[in-house]
């Protein structure tokens, strides 16, 4: 597996397929995609996971973390998130956060991330903000 920085538009198909397949592709495109750093994990040349990182004033946020379903639970997302955490530190971030689906809460807790604030919903999907001090 290799992880490298990719262009924002290279993330869209996987974001759409994994996160919001019932919405139009435009739903997964962020207004500030051009301001972020986008990472992809590749197996045998195929893009199998993506994550987008945004750092501003010492605070990093990652968004649109998606791993192809047939590649989940194989350590790919763990390696990708570890690399992004290191990248956030290198960019001077002291805090990292994300809005996480509650179904992924245990995954984020393994990185030392803790829920903060109130539970909220995007459509029918419950979310919580998860935070890590770097």
Instruction: Give the model's confidence band at 39: pLDDT under 50 very low, under 70 low, under 90 confident, else very high.
Output: very high
According to DSSP, the residues that pair with 67 across neighbouring strands are 49
Average pLDDT over residues 118-126: 93
CATH code, 34: 3.40.630.30
Q: What are phi and psi of 114, to 5 degrees?
A: -125, 145
DSSP tag of 36:
S
Range of the domain at 112: 2-133
- Proportion of the chain above pLDDT 90, given as a percent: 99
Closest CA to 79 of 129, 43, 120, 105: 43
Q: What's the CA gap between 128 and 114, in Å, rounded?
A: 10
Per-residue pLDDT tens over the stretch 70-107: 999 999 999 999 999 999 999 999 999 999 999 999 99
Average pLDDT over residues 9-19: 96
The count of domains in the chain is 1
- Proportion of the chain above pLDDT 70, given as a percent: 100
Average pLDDT over the chain reads 96
Average pLDDT over residues 37-50: 97
**Sheet containing 59-67: order of strands:** 2-6, 37-43, 46-56, 59-67, 95-101, 125-133, 114-122
Neighbours of 113 (CB within 10 A): 21
pTM of the model: 0.93
**Residue spans of alpha helices (H) in the chain:** 12-19, 76-90, 105-109
Answer yes or no: is pLDDT of 123 > 90: no
Q: What's the CA gap between 131 and 38, in Å, rounded?
A: 20
């Amino acid at each position: 597996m290799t992880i490298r920085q990719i262009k924002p538009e290279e993330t869209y198909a996987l974001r759409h397929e994994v996160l919001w397949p019932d919405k139009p592709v435009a739903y997964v495109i962020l207004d500030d995609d051009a301001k972020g750093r986008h990472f992809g994990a590749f197996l045998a040349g195929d893009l199998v996971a993506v994550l987008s990182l945004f750092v501003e004033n010492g605070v990093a946020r990652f968004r649109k973390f998606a791993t192809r379903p047939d590649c989940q639970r194989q350590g790919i997302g763990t390696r990708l998130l570890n690399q992004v955490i290191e990248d956030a530190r290198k960019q001077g971030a002291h805090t990292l956060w994300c809005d996480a689906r509650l179904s992924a809460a245990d995954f984020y807790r393994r990185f030392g991330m803790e829920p903060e604030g109130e539970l909220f919903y995007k459509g029918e999907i419950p979310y919580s903000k998860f935070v890590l001090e770097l």
